[in-house]
Amino acid sequence: MSITQTDLTRINTFIFDVDGVLTDGLLYCFADGEQVRAFNIKDGFAIKHAIQQGYRVAIITGKNEPGVRKRLEQLSIEDIFMGVEEKVETYENYVYMQGIHPATVAYMGDDMPDFEVMQRCGLRACPADAADDIKEISTFISTRKGGRGAVRELIEKIMKAQDTW
């Protein structure tokens, strides 16, 4: 599939997975049980900029780590759904409760837990190193890997198409 100008100009909401999208998918485990991930500062800048320009940004992720939540809150993300087992149910409830038309949503995921949600949004995006099944249904495949600027690339591309970057 290919991305069109219409796909880019109608987007007003970004929804992201965390592991493999906002991070590189690596999980560092310490002896005390703490699990640490690395976030890309350029992705963070793009998220904050999008929010400042009036875009809605949400997170739907299967993990529930306090450090991840803290980072997301530092980026001014208000709609954070963590520990989600059924992402599609959370997604559908979110768009319904917020009055968001699914065609205006860009969702970036990287693996099978994102598959169903991606089939219900306007722009299906993934990092360069996403699972093959996710790449097959994506309308936008970043040139960058998860946690390495894929989120920045997507946000910048959409905002530039709308003259909001």
Residue 113: partners with Cβ closer than 8 Å, 6 or more residues away: 17, 62, 87
What is the reported pLDDT for 27?
85
What is the reported pLDDT for 7?
79
In CATH terms, 5-161 corresponds, of 3.40.50.1000, 3.30.70.2190, 3.40.50.300, 3.30.70.260, to: 3.40.50.1000
What is the reported pLDDT for 122?
95
What is the reported pLDDT for 33?
84
**Domain positions in the chain:** 5-161
What is the reported pLDDT for 92?
98
What is the reported pLDDT for 2?
66
Q: Are 69 and 39 in contact (CB under 8 A)?
A: no
Angle subtended at Cα 121 by Cα 94 and Cα 17, rounded to the nearest 5 degrees: 65
Using CB atoms within 10 Å of the CB of residue 99, give its burial: 0 to 12 exposed, 13 to 18 middle, 19+ buried: exposed
Element (H, E) at 42: helix 41-52
Name residues of the chain where pLDDT drops below 50: none
Give the integer Cα–Cα distance in Å for 105 and 107: 6
- Annotated binding residue at 43? no
DSSP, res 85:
S
- Annotated binding residue at 129? no
What is the reported pLDDT for 93?
98
